[in-house]
Structure 1
């Protein structure tokens, strides 16, 4: 089977289109949240609190979400989660149109959306291997990641333009995309595999952590990604960089938010032509090192176009890391554990993204945005070196497929 088989797989393509609609909703939403909260408060810390409000519910609920994903129909979980997301974004739209929106309303909506994501992410990640099978898993994950990054190019730029007509218009468009994603997935042909339901016990909830901890390749790859992004995240600071350093407006913010995705999509096209099939461990560490170096360059830049280039290269490097990490996690995990292991992966991702945004906002409020970005990039480089030393099994990993690579315990 070849990657082109995915194009003839109507089930996967329906899933893919639904994911893209949801990603459009998310990317446009993030532009609105960042620009609106900064204009309401003029505070870097408030930008960080938006990320924290989305993160804490995911931290509290994702393990339970993984348990649910291993016991109930994963498609149903996705649909309910996206319904909650649609209603929450609609609240942001209505309050913005009525001009009664406050930072408290924004934080409350972020908490609700974080709770919905805690159930959606494990279910979504665990569905993919059942939709395509192991032979097409790496191409499917590459397609999904590249499509998501493509929406990250168009979504923020489109969101910046729509925001010119008001926050309500932006949130309304985002809500429509979220609703569309749910409608598309209604007809998805997904067969839930009935198993004896496991009672919710501490042992069951922690099963994903135990499996991850005892697999150095899986644990090394997802913890590397978590800490690299945690200390190097710049997303929350983009409104400050756009307005105060680069002297641009919402369109410039949309451009900056889109730049990493441009690099990611270009890299995904290259990976579709030349898949990663050897020395995956060395390549993932090299990718994360380039990611950190580009963060440093971005922090030092006072040119819009140099900043865009740095972010684009950063996105290309991140795409390599994402494809390797996600493929390793899914190939090394048995299906009956995928929900819980995906929940662990989701916690790591959420920690790196949302808590990373809070860290960036907090540090920037103390020492300024540019120094915070540079220090974060240097921290990412230090973490890359430490992880290469601490996880030799990941460094030595040659192939993605566990049947072709060294065995792990």
Structure 2
């Protein structure tokens, strides 16, 4: 009977220890990311670029009120970015590159912002579709470089923690980005909201290029590895 009474207490203590350990691992990942400018710049660039510059949430409004293409056109617009991502992803799987990766990543994010800017200003369906196609392709290039840089920059002992923080930021940036776009559209209208997001993405890209010099100067993925002299 005495042992049975102690079972809930021991279980509760074990759960508290596990929760404390999980929290410690998470905070350790945060501290490590803050100590590595390449990882911090890579993750935060993706966070703010998607948070501020996404236009996917505004596609139904554009399809109905701006482009006037109806449900069929909306479906095509929704598939445009995915088509661009798949096409570029297939190309990268057959012809990967490994030179000037830091600068290429910034250029890809800038192209993403500019393509969304073209979409925001366009009143032609084919131009809007092409802009989203380019935006999807640029996002795939950026994602390819970001994921590789994070893997190369993180030692084995910290890789799981860093990936957990990175996935948390990726998921939250998409959801918060849609909230930002919808709220801005309700306040200012769909077109001003899209324009504001695009300009913010371009501003973030320029600011991060100036603020994270080490990330901009990465030539090869191997140069981002801890202890690398590249």
1:310 aligns with 2:169: no
Using the alignment, how far apart are the partners of 1:231 and 1:321 within structure 2?
16
Deviations 1:47-99 (A, max 9, x none): xxxxxxxxxxxxxxxxxxxxxxxxxxxxxxxxxxxxxxxxxxxxxxxxxxxxx
Aligned ranges for residues 7-406 of structure 1 at < 5 Å? 200=21, 202-402=23-223
Considering only CA atoms, is the larger Rg found in Structure 1 or Structure 2? Answer: 2
Using the alignment, how far apart are the partners of 2:218 and 2:117 within structure 1?
28
RMSD: 2.1
Unaligned 5+ segments in structure 1 are 1-196
Using the alignment, how far apart are the partners of 2:38 and 2:228 within structure 1?
9
Q: Report SS of the residue matched to 1:326.
A: helix
| TM-score (norm. length: structure 2) | 0.85
State the shift of 1:337 in Å.
2.7
Seen in structure 2, the aligned counterparts of structure 1 residues 375 and 337 have a Cα distance that, compared at 3 Å, is: same
| TM-score (norm. length: structure 1) | 0.49
Contact kept? 1:232, 1:356, Cα under 8 Å: yes
Contact kept? 1:297, 1:374, Cα under 8 Å: no
Seen in structure 2, the aligned counterparts of structure 1 residues 199 and 309 have a Cα distance that, compared at 3 Å, is: same
Deviations 1:225-254 (A, max 9, x none): 111111101111111111221212322222
State the shift of 1:295 in Å.
1.0
**Higher relative contact order, chain-length normalized (CA < 8 Å, sep 6+):** 2
Seen in structure 2, the aligned counterparts of structure 1 residues 301 and 223 have a Cα distance that, compared at 3 Å, is: same
Seen in structure 2, the aligned counterparts of structure 1 residues 216 and 315 have a Cα distance that, compared at 3 Å, is: same
Contact kept? 2:218, 2:224, Cα under 8 Å: no
Contact kept? 1:398, 1:405, Cα under 8 Å: no
Seen in structure 2, the aligned counterparts of structure 1 residues 290 and 201 have a Cα distance that, compared at 3 Å, is: closer
Q: Report SS of the residue matched to 1:302.
A: coil
Using the alignment, how far apart are the partners of 1:359 and 1:235 within structure 2?
11
